[in-house]
């Protein structure tokens, strides 16, 4: 198998429940990526979830994943460009590598 990875779809709360906070979600994703790296997974991708309290900006988390794993390539799954400045996004993404 040449490439095998995971895409995070996010974490949601239903019916007025409070979902996990951003710190908990970041720790969960970082732990998941480190465990995936240990078993040979080589890609971690995160979706952008603007306007939600958990994991709204993926670039800092992707940087932490890239810095704490040996074989994981990082990326984003879906970016809704209606909410992005293309030049700022390109600069953020370029800073990961």
- How does pLDDT run across 50-81, given as a tens digit for each residue? 776 666 678 888 999 999 999 999 988 778 88
Any domain includes 28: yes
Give this prediction's pTM.
0.79
Any domain includes 14: no
Residue 53 sits in which domain range?
19-94
Any domain includes 33: yes
Any domain includes 48: yes
Any domain includes 2: no
Any domain includes 13: no
Total domains present in the chain: 1
| Nearest Cα to Cα of residue 82 among 44, 39, 50 | 50
Give, in order, the Cα–Cα distances in Å from 30 to each of 1, 62, 66, 74, 83.
24, 9, 10, 12, 25
Relative orientation angle of helices 58-68 and 22-38, to the nearest 10 degrees:
30
At 15-53, the pLDDT tens digits run: 566 667 778 888 888 999 999 999 999 998 888 777 766
Any domain includes 49: yes
Any domain includes 3: no
């Amino acid at each position: 198998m040449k490439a095998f990875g995971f895409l995070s779809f996010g974490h949601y709360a239903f019916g007025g429940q409070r979902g996990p906070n951003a710190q908990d979600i970041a720790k969960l994703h970082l732990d998941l990526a480190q465990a995936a790296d240990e078993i040979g997974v080589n890609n971690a991708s995160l979706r952008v979830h603007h306007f939600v309290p958990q994991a709204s900006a993926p670039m800092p988390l992707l940087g932490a994943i890239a810095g704490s794993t040996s074989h994981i390539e990082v990326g984003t799954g879906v970016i809704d460009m209606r909410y992005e400045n293309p030049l700022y996004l390109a600069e953020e993404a370029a800073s990961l590598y």
